[in-house]
Amino acid sequence: MQIDQDKLNAFMGKMLGDLGAALNAPLIRLGDNLGLYKAMAGGGPMTAPELAQRTGTTERYIREWLAAQAASGYVEYDAATERFTLPPEQAAVFADEDSPVFLAGVGDLIAAMADVGPKVGEAFRTGHGVGWDKQNPCLFCGTARFFRTTYKHHLVQAWLPALDGVEAKLAGGGSIADIGCGHGVSTVLMAQAYPKARCVGFDYHEPSIATARQSIAGTELAGRTTFETSTAKGIPAGDYDLVCFFDCLHDMGDPVGALRHVRTTMKPDGTCMIVEPFANDRLEDNLNPVGRLYYAASTLICTPASLSQEVGLALGAQAGEARMRKVAEEAGFTRFRRVAETPFNLVYEARP
């Protein structure tokens, strides 16, 4: 094989960048868990001893962590004063959980994906699946925090208003079923926005349901918001105005069966909202930074989860609109349209 030296050098440069990002991912998690980013946010330039004192940590470790952050461009370093600064742009990503670009929660996701590697490697050989409940617990809180950023800034503001007639129903006291709700982030956001609505979150993962219940314990939401352990195909009839699937339908072994069942739990004029990871229909159109993230997650989390269940359709996290439309139509929905999108999500409306 004839090697093009320029291409090789360019690729090695890319690999150095990728390796640096991979090795620094655990340091993002450390900064998040120890409150280092939050302590730096808005604090101006500070030395390693100052940050250590603010956070109750050891200066020698902080000095090394800050050096790695500066080398990554996550913080700025002034050699003349030996002080480090977290610029406001980086603070929006690492320190402000309510920011529309907050991403520090991905540290838990990355840790979980690294941990499950051996299990998925064995599944490559056997063809078996790896259930969501067999994942590292870091995955559950990491997933909730990752998607919370988008849900908080788009769900009530843009997605629900894009659904035909749904807002008025919910404002007047409608009912919502949130399927695959996980820690209940999406359920809580809808319950807060529509105080007259009845909201029920369902998930087959009991520890996630326990966390969701705890999140509303003692609040005014507790009287009209409930969380129940159930698979999508096992939820009881509820005559719901709105049934939602937030970034979970592709994880299910039988998404057609799940949609077919929940269609029977909806009112005749009810709506199903399906939120899925952003994806184009063709592989070549997904070879971009977002597709890179989602194909990796799909290999280690989504596809193994589906293959661990009955049917095992394994849509993957990059199924695309055409595939999702086909699933909805096979489930008996006659109307299907895309109503919204963000860099990370596509939102569909399906009606019987």
pLDDT of residue 160: 98
- Average pLDDT of the segment spanning 105-113: 93
Residue 43: what residue type? G
pLDDT of residue 119: 97
pLDDT of residue 1: 85
- Average pLDDT of the segment spanning 184-194: 98
Residues whose CB falls within 8 Å of the CB of residue 16, separated by 6 or more in sequence, listed in order: none
Is the model's pLDDT at 292 over the cut of 90?
yes
pLDDT tier, 168 (very low <50, low <70, confident <90, very high otherwise): very high
Contact between residue 178 and residue 199 where contact means Cβ atoms under 8 Å apart: yes
- Average pLDDT of the segment spanning 261-276: 96
Residues whose CB falls within 8 Å of the CB of residue 326, separated by 6 or more in sequence, listed in order: none
pLDDT tier, 30 (very low <50, low <70, confident <90, very high otherwise): very high
Cα(120)–Cα(117) distance, integer angstroms? 5
Helix (H) or strand (E) holding 266, with range, is strand 266-277
- Average pLDDT of the segment spanning 94-109: 95
Percent of the chain with pLDDT over 70: 100
Is the model's pLDDT at 185 over the cut of 90?
yes
Number of Cβ atoms within 10 Å of the Cβ of 133:
14
Cα(236)–Cα(225) distance, integer angstroms? 16
pLDDT of residue 238: 86
Is the model's pLDDT at 303 over the cut of 90?
yes
Cα(317)–Cα(121) distance, integer angstroms? 19
Percent of the chain with pLDDT over 90: 99
pLDDT of residue 15: 97
Indicate the DSSP class of residue 46.
B
Query: CA nearest 147: which of 155, 156, 136?
Result: 155
- Average pLDDT of the segment spanning 185-208: 97
Contact between residue 201 and residue 176 where contact means Cβ atoms under 8 Å apart: no
pLDDT tier, 237 (very low <50, low <70, confident <90, very high otherwise): confident
pLDDT tier, 99 (very low <50, low <70, confident <90, very high otherwise): very high
Mean pLDDT over each residue of the chain, to the nearest integer:
97
pLDDT, one tens digit per residue, over 150-165 is 999 999 999 999 999 9
pLDDT tier, 115 (very low <50, low <70, confident <90, very high otherwise): very high
**DSSP letters along 219-249, please?**
SGGGGTEEEEE--GGGPPP--EEEEEEES-G
Number of Cβ atoms within 10 Å of the Cβ of 208:
25
- Average pLDDT of the segment spanning 184-196: 97
- Average pLDDT of the segment spanning 107-129: 96
- Average pLDDT of the segment spanning 324-333: 98
Cα(226)–Cα(211) distance, integer angstroms? 12
